[in-house]
Amino acid sequence: MAGPGKPGRLAKFTDPGLFQEMVDDYFRLTIKENRPQTVAGLAVHLRCSRETLLNYADHDDYGDIISHAKARLMAYAEESLFTLRQPSGAIFNLKANYGYRDHDDRYHNAPVVQVIFNSNEAGLLNRPTPAALPQPVVIEQPVIKTIEEVNG
């Protein structure tokens, strides 16, 4: 039998029932021994690489088992954020394995516009502006336009 995504290669796992028992055994063991629950730890327990384990997630017979195991591992990592004095390892794990990311509201895609409402304020054009900002635009009406619309 070929492994998932590897035609001609022998499958590492051939019995989904036995595979489920091995996954459950990993979680029982980590709880009993008070060890952290990780994707790499599960792979070591199953005697395969982390990559092999994740490749089986796409396999029809093993996908649900691995998805549930990863959900348990993610829940463990999330809970660790609240129970550990130094949660940086749990934060790294969530970012590296589960797609979590820091959210930063300081940046957005809106265009930068500087508007001067009448020519009396045009004296402002003579002051230096940072190179990163577009040059000021003088308009006689209080209509706000983006630089792209003005230069259009």
User: For the whole model, what pTM was predicted?
Assistant: 0.58
Alpha-carbon span 31 to 16, nearest angstrom = 23
Alpha-carbon span 140 to 105, nearest angstrom = 33
pLDDT at 1: 41
The 8-class DSSP code of residue 45 comes to H
Note the pLDDT tens digit of each residue in 52-68. Answer: 888 888 888 899 999 99
Question: Residue 116 forms beta bridges with which residues?
Answer: 138
pLDDT at 67: 92
Phi first, then psi, for residue 68 (nearest 5°) are -65, -40
Out of 55-59, 127-131, 143-147, least confident range: 127-131
Domain residue extents for the chain: 2-98, 115-151
Note the pLDDT tens digit of each residue in 66-82. Answer: 999 999 999 998 888 88
Residue 139 confidence (pLDDT) above 80: no
Residue 21 confidence (pLDDT) above 60: yes
